[in-house]
Amino acid sequence: MQKAFVALLGFIPITIVALVLGSSPTVLFFLSALAIVPLARFIGRATEELSARSGPALSGLLNASFGNATELLIGFFAIRQGLVEVVKASLTGSIIGNLLLVLGTATFAGGWSYKTQQFNLSAAHANASTLLLAVIAMTIPPIFYQTIPSMLGATIESLSLLVSALMIVTYLASLWFAFRTHPHLYSEELEHYEAKWTLNKMDLTLQISIGSATQIAMFVAPVLVLTSIIFPNPMSLVFSTFELAAIILSVLIVNQVVADGESNWFEGLQLMMAYGIMAVAFFLHT
């Protein structure tokens, strides 16, 4: 099994050669997809090893950051191409995908092996209120826009920029909180349950999924708003009613599910169903 993964690494030079030889985009896509498999597995294993040494907070942050750096870069170039609405839909999809699909599937799967999975309530609580602040920051500009449709574009842009700046400051403050002033909140229960391997895994899943959603909402999206002002068609913080409703409802049900510090297969199923409902609507919507 291990060897098969290593063998797939051979597709990295093959992809480069194919690129040089001028292969079609479809061929390049499938070659790159095969080359990514072992890399994704290595990141996953590195995250787990890191978690065993430094706790789920840091490894969750690093794992989320690896993935979201790509999202940030692709978003930046897509906005330059004028694909503003596509980027907003993609950010929304990442937020609800992490909150509902990733967390839901992990909780559901873990629930078959363990009747009840416990996790670090303090850390989940801090993330949950940051997510709620993200909801506030993303709700205010659209309501502003909808109540005064005759509003000048410049005013909406000023509001987007100011709110985005506040979001980035808050996100950086949340890192300061997690790693400087209150790291014990994220590790104290780690020592307590040291023996239970799966517990640590549940905490790691929570940090990766909720942490990644928080990072996209509170850092990636506002950075794209701020940096895209150099383009003729910048991205504002005004998401569509549909996208906003999906984000608000996802945050509410995740907050409800993590509120008691325990999870089971049925809570995982609920998150997956919420994702299913939204996915069906998104699919019919477009």
Segment interacting with a second copy, rule: CB under 8 A, options 51-59, 65-73, 204-212, 273-281: 273-281
Report d(CA 107, CA 116) in Å as an integer: 10
Report d(CA 257, CA 262) in Å as an integer: 8
Rg of the chain in Å (alpha carbons): 20
Residues in region 146-165 near a second copy by CB under 8 A? 146-148, 155, 158-159, 162-163
Instruction: Retrieve residue 44's tokens.
Output: 């996953």
Count of Cβ atoms closer than 10 Å to residue 209 Cβ: 27
CB 204 within 8 A of CB 57: no
Shortest distance, position 279 Cβ to a second copy, whole Å: 10
Q: Could you say whether residue 53 binds a second copy (CB under 8 A)?
A: no
Residues in region 178-217 near a second copy by CB under 8 A? 181-182
How many chain residues interact with a second copy (CB under 8 A)? 63
Report d(CA 184, CA 113) in Å as an integer: 29
Residue of 54, 81, 198, 256 interacting with a second copy (CB under 8 A)? 256
If DSSP codes are grouped into helix, strand and coil, which group holds residue 212?
A: helix
Q: Angle at Cα 24 formed by Cα 19 and Cα 29, nearest 5°?
A: 75
Q: Could you say whether residue 17 binds a second copy (CB under 8 A)?
A: no
| Closest residue by Cα to residue 251 from 99, 93, 94 | 99
Residues in region 115-134 near a second copy by CB under 8 A? 115, 121-122, 125-126, 128-130, 132-133
Shortest distance, position 286 Cβ to a second copy, whole Å: 10
Q: Which residues on neighbouring strands pair with residue 263, listed in sequence order?
A: 117
Q: Could you say whether residue 73 binds a second copy (CB under 8 A)?
A: no
- Interacting residue ranges for a second copy, rule: CB under 8 A: 115, 121-122, 125-126, 128-130, 132-133, 135-137, 139-141, 143-144, 146-148, 155, 158-159, 162-163, 166-167, 169-170, 173-174, 177, 181-182, 240-242, 245-246, 249, 252-253, 255-257, 259-260, 264-267, 269-270, 273-274, 276-278, 280-281, 284-285
